[in-house]
């Protein structure tokens, strides 16, 4: 399957080649966004609990994604809740602006990131190896994620250009959330999927018992 050499494909291949470094880079991006949010909202409930809540939710989403397809609902809630908390944290202005950006982060976390993971699992079910499945997913759904984030950034720039009192804060928060969501989908998700596969391969397998075997020495001779 011929895929365009777009940025999402290169990012996925880099993340699959060195997943530990990719996860560290993603954590640096998230840490910078959270630090910016702590400067924007140093006081109040959001300033006290927002950074911890955003980090905890995003890390939960990453761990649940690496664990496999079973905790996919927990992973979706982690991505959505983490980006929503981050959007509320990094938005300058009052509560209405923060609520709008929190909804934007929730939509990005519940839609873009799980769609990328779903496409990877579909390609894996067709028999592709993890690296090939990640490349195909990055060339299709990953490319759509980048385009969607680009449109969100253009919308944020349009909001900032209006000059309304509340909209510049919404634009700043939306831009930060869009960048973090893009890095999460194109770098963090491929990395944690590869790490999850490596951990499952390295885990010792339980010895399978034959049907009807009771474990006693005398039963085998019967």
The DSSP symbol for 41 reads -
The domain tally of the chain equals 1
Asked, for residue 216, whether it belongs to a domain, the answer is: no
The total of other beta-carbon atoms located within 10 Å of residue 96's CB is: 12
Asked, for residue 40, whether it belongs to a domain, the answer is: yes
Question: Does residue 1 sit in helix, strand or coil?
Answer: coil
First CA to last CA distance, the chain: 55
- Domain extent for 171: 7-203
Asked, for residue 48, whether it belongs to a domain, the answer is: yes
pLDDT along the chain (222 residues), means of 10: 60 81 89 83 65 86 86 88 88 82 88 84 84 83 84 86 81 90 88 83 60 48 45
What does pTM read for this prediction?
0.81
Asked, for residue 161, whether it belongs to a domain, the answer is: yes
Q: Measuring CA to CA, which residue among 54, 65, 182, 185 is closest to residue 113? A: 185
CA distances from 16 to 28, 46, 117, 193 (A): 18, 35, 14, 8
Asked, for residue 149, whether it belongs to a domain, the answer is: yes
CATH number at residue 142: 1.20.1640.10
Asked, for residue 34, whether it belongs to a domain, the answer is: yes
CA 180, CA 222: separation in Å to the nearest integer? 64
Question: Does residue 174 sit in helix, strand or coil?
Answer: helix
- Write down the pLDDT at residue 132: 83
Asked, for residue 208, whether it belongs to a domain, the answer is: no
Asked, for residue 97, whether it belongs to a domain, the answer is: yes
- Write down the pLDDT at residue 177: 92
As given in the structure block, the two tokens for residue 119 are: 């496409």
As given in the structure block, the two tokens for residue 209 are: 């018992």
């Amino acid at each position: 399957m011929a895929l365009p050499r777009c940025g999402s494909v290169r990012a996925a291949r880099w993340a699959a080649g060195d997943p530990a470094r990719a996860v560290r880079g993603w954590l640096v991006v998230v840490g910078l966004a959270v630090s910016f949010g702590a400067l924007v909202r140093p006081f109040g409930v959001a300033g006290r609990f927002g950074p911890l809540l955003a980090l905890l939710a995003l890390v939960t989403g990453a761990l649940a994604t690496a664990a496999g397809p079973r905790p996919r609902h927990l992973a979706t809630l982690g991505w959505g809740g983490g980006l929503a908390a981050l959007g509320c944290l990094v938005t300058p202005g009052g509560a209405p602006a923060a609520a709008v950006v929190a909804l934007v982060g929730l939509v990005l976390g519940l839609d873009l990131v799980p769609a990328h993971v779903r496409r990877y699992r579909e390609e894996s079910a067709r028999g592709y190896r993890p690296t090939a499945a990640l490349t195909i997913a990055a060339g299709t759904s990953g490319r759509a994620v980048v385009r969607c984030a680009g449109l969100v950034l253009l919308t944020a720039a349009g909001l900032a250009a209006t000059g309304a009192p509340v909209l510049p804060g919404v634009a700043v928060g939306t831009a930060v959330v869009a960048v973090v969501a893009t890095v999460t989908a194109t770098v963090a998700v491929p990395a944690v999927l590869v790490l999850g596969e490596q951990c499952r391969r390295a885990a010792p397998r339980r010895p399978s018992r034959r049907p009807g075997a009771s474990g006693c020495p005398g039963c085998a001779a019967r």
